[in-house]
Structure 1
Amino acid sequence: MEYTSKEIKCNEKLSIYNGASAIIVQSIISGFIPLFAIEVLDASNIQIGLISSLPSIMMLLSMIPGAYWINRLEAKKAFTGITIFAARFLFMLLMFVPLIQVSNQAWLLVVLIALMNFPTALATLSWQALIGDLIPDSRRGQFFSQRNRILTIVGMIITFGAGVFLDQFEKSNPFPFQLLFVVGFVFGILEVYYLMRHIEHKQKQEKPQQNIIKNLALTIRHKPYLHFLICAMLFNFGWQMAWPLFSLYQINDAHATALWISIFTVVNQVAQIVSYKWWGKSADKWGNSTMLFVCAIGMTTAPIITILTTNLYLLALSNLWTGLFVSGTTLLLFNQLLSVSPTENRTSFLANYNLMIALIGFIAPQLGVLLLEYLGMVKAMSISSVFRFIGGISFLIVVFYFEKNNRNKLFKASI
């Protein structure tokens, strides 16, 4: 059953409320967990790398049963809500880590972060399948650029406010972090509430794939999806390799405080806000793959310009520059994923994408930390830039070879 324009508008409004609640929790996790780990729990470089990569193992484990379960659901909303609540409850448990008397509390944090990402991965997969049903293809570009812009503003305000709040306390004081975890759980409840208010029509059940091999075979036979998947994996390898390195460099080398960490995030988000609309319009004009190449080239510069200085003001400017391309990357990767995933068996296509990116997400950060240990920060960051550049070139190859050939075939068929 198709959705009416009234139902689509209602779902778009609720999706923004749901996303705003979610971004508050995510801002706390992405912005301040590394600081909490290093300053409060005295985490090592290896543990910081594991915080970035171990969650991907849980995502890998969740994708196989997740695709099977979700494919059997006539309605995905309830399943999505349950998994989100489970993830936010585990997030709240982080507040107890400093209270548990063990020799190395940072390992408890690593384990909890990993466990939290099992329901998080299920929720992400289910939400992607749900929103793909609720928002028609003709509305996605405009809606998601608007939604991302609003969520970025919310995240910016929360991140800066949290940074100012944390800066009022000693770096090693766990109390302000514990309070943030409780606040995050409250907004997690709101996230579930707004999700459950979405209007969803039951869909005919898809026949579940029997195993991961058949599931993978189904998706790789669809060439547009396969081409996108290869490009996305190459780019994400270089992108995620540097994730723990940025945190380690900012905190250990540049000695950034909670306030400066929030400033870096805020200026990055300001750049995203002003550029979301442009990326959406440019993608409509030139295509997602073309603009993903532009984004990838911009992202290639991020590790290089970061290691040029330890001056906090210049690092803030580098985050401003990077934010211009982060917005396009996140928007276009998701839009292109939905575009190349057929409506039939869409959950299987989304699951395999998340599975492959999760595999990259485990290997790449660990390699980044390993390169840091043996080669130093400069060479590790430079290698990350090389992989990002290769990913960008792959998107360009898709544009000039595969997509061009497909357009030519369609043109000849119409004559």
Structure 2
Amino acid sequence: MKKETNQPEQKEVSLKPLYARSVVNSLGAGMVNPFMGAYAIKLGASESDMGWFQSASNISNNVMQVFWGRLSDRIKRRIPFIILGTLIMSTLWIPMIFVTNATQLILLIALQALIGSMATPAWTALIGDLVPSTKLGRANASINLWASIGSVIATIASGIVMLSVGGSPQEMMFIPLLIAAACGITSCVAMLRIKEKKNGEKLNLRKQFTSDFLNTLRYAKKHSQFVRYCYVVGVFEFFMSICWPLIARTQVDVLNATMLHIALLSVVQSIVTIAFQSWAGKITDTIGRKPALLIFRLTLITVPLAYAFAPNIEILIVVGAFWGMTMALGNAAVTAYLLDIAPEEHRGSFTAVFNLMIGVTTFFGSLIGGYLSAYTVGIFGLVAGLQIVYMVSMSGRIIGALLHFRLKETLKKS
């Protein structure tokens, strides 16, 4: 894609489809995403099943992103990948209505993530293409702000609908899954308003897939800041993901949370994120990416601690407000730092490599967390067994957070 040379007013206009797509797509995601773990539990998922539930989506969502990101960079197009990926992901919500066990749900989620992953690197690269580096923090914060607004509205509505409908897990999820599919498909319309220059270059995908993948990895390895960022984030993400399979089990079986409780937990956190999103963008573009990242990671240490010892779901809902504030910093800083260190013409590829790294580390982290919790629960019982694994996750998060001190600041002061 050509380097943007338009005037600021034109750039502002060109971002409107991004906001529209974010809001509508997040309406769909908010209807179902906060409840999928509980859905799996209600379908009979065990601790090890929940490990696969998290791991399958983590690796599937990221394994093909290097290819999609590189392909997007080569043909200098973003929109086709965003539209096709979003359409596939949205359509696959519908079969989830008819699953009869957790294994079927896990397979569908993995397939959805695998095929739909073409949208992620293209979306991140498109933002980098349209927004100057000095405004990336604010732009990411603003886009995430509107996405969060859509998600909050959908999540609380979905929780109320499921509480009202009741019945089997499939009956409760029927309306939210249909709405999620419809919103995702509709969100693609906004992307048609962004005009990209067509590239006449013909590519042999079968011949170039392997070479492109290896070339992308070799090229990325030459950028020391990018390698360091992947290493530091990878350590944190690994230990962070260890407790992911435990969260839905804790909510449903330990704290006896209803779907409305789960909705409120997500909504409270999201509302606070919305309230602080603009502030977070300004902070990230003012004091720098590194301090924002440090605050974000250090506060995430409290998540496994809270889940391990919370006496009821209401306490978690209150603490979720604190996490929402720091999530605003994370939304603004993580992507801004990545786009700062990625060469402009390789943003799609670097984003894909970064996400592949996260996919691999969280795949093993979630899988280990699932099987480790199955072992500890079998020996020490449900509550104590889960607490042990939460403490393992917390200890690793401390190490991963401290590693962020090794990062270099990337914000260029004007």
Partner of 1:193: 189
Cα gap change, 1:61 to 1:306, in 2 (>3 Å): closer
Cα gap change, 1:390 to 1:77, in 2 (>3 Å): same
Per-residue Cα deviation, 1:321-341 (whole angstroms, up to 9, x for no partner): 222222222321111111111
Partner of 1:359: 360
Which residue identity lines up with residue 179 of structure 1 in the other structure? I
Cα separation, 2, equivalents of 1:173 and 1:346: 41
Cα gap change, 1:288 to 1:68, in 2 (>3 Å): closer
With structure 1 as the length reference, what TM-score do the two structures score? 0.89
- Shift in Å at residue 203 of structure 1? 7.3
Per-residue Cα deviation, 1:10-34 (whole angstroms, up to 9, x for no partner): 2322111100112122223421112
Cα separation, 2, equivalents of 1:204 and 1:72: 11
Which residue identity lines up with residue 390 of structure 2 in the other structure? M
Which residue identity lines up with residue 126 of structure 1 in the other structure? A
- Shift in Å at residue 239 of structure 1? 2.3
Indicate the larger mover: 345-354 or 60-69. 60-69
- Shift in Å at residue 187 of structure 1? 0.4
Give yes or no for the alignment of 1:332 onto 2:333: yes
Cα separation, 2, equivalents of 1:395 and 1:203: 40
Aligned Cα RMSD in Å? 2.4
Indicate the larger mover: 258-267 or 193-202. 193-202
Per-residue Cα deviation, 1:299-327 (whole angstroms, up to 9, x for no partner): 10111022222312212112122222222
Partner of 1:46: 48
Task: Percent identity, please.
Answer: 23
Partner of 1:411: none
Cα separation, 2, equivalents of 1:392 and 1:202: 43
SS of equivalent to 2:344: coil
Cα separation, 2, equivalents of 1:302 and 1:164: 26
SS of equivalent to 1:307: helix
Give yes or no for the alignment of 1:395 onto 2:404: yes
- Shift in Å at residue 117 of structure 1? 0.5
In the alignment, which of 56, 59, 62 is matched to residue 58 of structure 2? 56
- Shift in Å at residue 343 of structure 1? 0.6
* Equivalent residue pairs, number: 397
Pairing 1:252-267 to 2, within 5 Å after superposition: 252-267=253-268
Cα gap change, 1:206 to 1:387, in 2 (>3 Å): farther
Q: What stretches of structure 1 of length at least 5 have no aligned partner? A: 99-104, 408-415
Which residue identity lines up with residue 360 of structure 1 in the other structure? T
SS of equivalent to 2:168: coil
Which residue identity lines up with residue 115 of structure 1 in the other structure? L
Q: Is the 8 A contact 2:31 2:179 kept in 1?
A: no
Cα separation, 1, equivalents of 2:236 and 2:25: 26
Partner of 1:131: 127
Per-residue Cα deviation, 1:159-212 (whole angstroms, up to 9, x for no partner): 111101111133534223112111111101111111222233457979978243
Cα separation, 1, equivalents of 2:85 and 2:72: 12
Q: Is the 8 A contact 2:41 2:248 kept in 1?
A: no
In the alignment, which of 22, 25, 32 is matched to residue 22 of structure 1? 25
Q: What stretches of structure 2 of length at least 5 have no aligned partner? A: 377-384
Cα separation, 2, equivalents of 1:241 and 1:198: 40
Q: Is the 8 A contact 2:32 2:158 kept in 1?
A: no
Cα gap change, 1:147 to 1:348, in 2 (>3 Å): closer
